[in-house]
Amino acid sequence: MTVQKLKLSRELNTLVEQVRSGELTGLNKVRVPRRINEIVALLGGSNAAQVAKTEPAVDDLSDRTTDENYRWKDTAYIAGARKHMSQTFSDAKKQGRNLNTTDIDWDEVSSDMRLAQSLITKENVFGVVDWKGLKDAGMPSNVAYLIKRLYTAVDKEPMDQTSPESLRNYVSGISNLREVLEACRTYEEIRDVLVNISHKLIRPKSLKDYYKDPSVTERYPPVALHESRVWTELGERFVSWVYKSGNKGLHECRTNRDPSTRKASKGATWDWAKLEPVVKDESGKEVKPRKASFQLDHATDIQRIGGTQIELKSSKELEEMFGA
């Protein structure tokens, strides 16, 4: 076993134990199972049996909606159904989680670029930051405030919406950014992350030229580096902030004072952060959660009685029935 696979196996064991413990909170309830699926895929499915132990198996059907033998429920993913792409983004938005490249069917993206362009935006991809969870996990307010400023600097859409690679790099860039920044707990850690990112960034104009003509790498070799394309895809505003405001941001984070006014930084306390859940009305406007004056009892298990009997057990059987 290679060193990389050994590391992945160890990470997998740790994540599986976290799921079994039942102690996951906030967005980690979504992120940890998703990361488990990613590792299993990277390991070629060799540890799938171990992951399956986290929940009792009653048959050979899967509870993962993207598997061919997905257990039939009210709705299921049917390979090639275009509505699934929209549903993927809709579900992620409702759950407040950010998307990564493994969540998206990129063949479907290439076949319907107009739909992809409308879906792959910061609003739909970025997700909701669980600031309370990060605070509880030990992140200080000054580090969180610098992270918030970096997140704000990310452009609202990919650099070239006509390029499938640009769309994919944008999703990957946001996912990578959130992963490395939300793992930081000290000034030194976020400083090192920011410096590392700054070394990988390239000129946004060169990246735009690359999407139109990949041969630009002959004139500007740094564009050939995939990691540089991914980080730079976060946008001109992001690149500009890192180069022009990064040092001031780090100084403010370290001293807890605004270098321009010499007054206490907003990041000195958690007052700037929304630590309570945000509720939105039908128009998308944020509203204050209403306190319930009474609580209705509700059934925890609803059983259907009567009606047409459905024999299908999985979405795979549905595909075979209709020749999909």
3-class secondary-structure state, position 239: helix
Q: Digits of tens for pLDDT over the chain (324 positions)?
A: 566 777 777 788 788 877 777 777 766 766 777 788 778 777 775 444 444 444 444 456 655 544 555 554 444 444 444 566 778 888 887 888 888 888 888 888 888 888 889 999 999 999 999 999 999 999 999 999 999 999 999 999 999 999 999 999 999 999 999 999 999 999 999 999 999 999 999 999 999 999 999 999 999 999 999 999 999 999 999 999 999 999 999 999 999 999 989 999 999 999 999 876 565 655 666 655 554 444 444 444 455 566 566 566 666 666 676 665
Distance between CA atoms of residues 116 and 110, nearest Å: 8
The pLDDT score that the predictor gives to residue 48 is 45
Contact 127, 97 (CB under 8 A): yes
Does pTM surpass 0.75? no
Beta bridge partners of 287: 279
3-class secondary-structure state, position 54: coil
Contact 139, 197 (CB under 8 A): no
Residues 6+ apart with CB under 8 A from 34: 97, 100, 103
Contact 256, 142 (CB under 8 A): yes
Distance between CA atoms of residues 51 and 45, nearest Å: 10
Distance between CA atoms of residues 288 and 281, nearest Å: 10
The per-residue b/e assignment along 214-249, b for 16 or more CB within 10 angstroms, e otherwise, is eebeeeeeebeeeebbbbbbbbbebbebbeeebeeb
The pLDDT score that the predictor gives to residue 124 is 92
The pLDDT score that the predictor gives to residue 37 is 77
Contact 72, 52 (CB under 8 A): no
The pLDDT score that the predictor gives to residue 46 is 44
The pLDDT score that the predictor gives to residue 142 is 97
